[in-house]
Amino acid sequence: MFDMDGKVALVTGASGGIGWATAEAFAASGAKVVVAARREDQLASLKQNIEAQSGKASYVVADVSIPADVERMVAHAVETFGALDYAVNNAALEGQLTPITQLTEREWDRVLDINLKGVFLCLKYEACAMLAGRRGGAIVNVGSVNSFLGVAGFAPYVASKHALIGLTTCASAELAPQDIRVNLICPGFIDTPMHRRGRQLFGDALYDGLLSQRVHARRAGRPDEIARSILFLCSQEATYITGSTLLADGGFTLTA
């Protein structure tokens, strides 16, 4: 796929979906991979899968909303494999379907702490490690088509994903002069556990209608398709791409 031999990658939210596929893609391209999430059983399975394909992997159980966890996670990557070259900040949760008039501060904080504060903390400690390593790097934050579109009942999720555009461009402005590129990828309807929960919540008719009428590709995407786009943004093929937002949504946003 890409030549990443000798590189070290860190992927958060790696217990399933896009994070899992991205970790496997990094390993298949020759990178050593550290995977992080809150579910140790899934991380252990992912590590085993990567090693079964002759890849190198390690895992860290971490909650990205907790500064000490994030600092420990990044330190583990450097201590285990000697450096940090790539980071994918994918950990997120969608929250509960709740009208703004009934939304509690606790629920707002729960979603923003993971989806926005968590990305900030990851960026902070990842950038520090890359700067200390003096070999540059690439960071990809994972947004959503909801970085551009609103969905009734999901204000915290949508607000957090909108905010990633600004956070990504600020991080790029600061870090690109020091050879650390920061970009944002915004997936659409991807066949992940999160989107399956959405299908259950809204019903097959709505989901299938959106796929057939508003997604140019007329289908949901696969996690591995997003993973390949993420690896491209990290690779030597994308050395002049920074501060950018890549839509990977099968054309959905163009017709919304």
CA atoms within 13 Å, Cβ hemisphere of 210: 19
pLDDT at position 256: 52
- By annotation, the residues acting in catalysis are 157
User: Which uninterrupted H or E stretch holds 139?
Assistant: strand 137-142
Domain contains 1: no
List the beta bridge partners of residue 248.
Answer: 187
Q: Is 151 helix (H, G, I), strand (E, B) or coil?
A: coil
Domain contains 200: no
Between CA 120 and CA 97 the distance in angstroms is: 25
Whose tokens are 């956070």? That residue is 167
Write the CATH number for 51: 3.40.50.720
Domain contains 64: yes
Whole-model pTM: value is 0.95
Domain contains 209: no
pLDDT along the chain (256 residues), means of 10: 95 97 98 98 98 98 98 98 98 95 98 98 98 98 96 96 98 98 96 82 80 89 97 98 97 78
pLDDT at position 153: 93
Number of folded domains in the chain?
1
pLDDT at position 197: 84
Domain contains 133: yes
**Are the C-beta atoms of 64 and 92 separated by less than 8 Å?**
no
pLDDT at position 106: 98
Q: Phi/psi zone of residue 172: left (φ > 0), alpha (ψ -120 to 50 degrees), beta?
A: alpha
- Listing DSSP states for 185-224 in one string gives EEE-SB-SHHHHHHHHHH-HHHHHHHHHHT-TTSS-B-HH
Nearest to 47 by CA among 122, 39, 88: 39
Domain contains 57: yes
Domain that includes residue 39, residue range: 8-190+224-251
User: Which uninterrupted H or E stretch holds 162?
Assistant: helix 155-175
pLDDT at position 134: 95
Domain contains 206: no
Between CA 225 and CA 1 the distance in angstroms is: 12
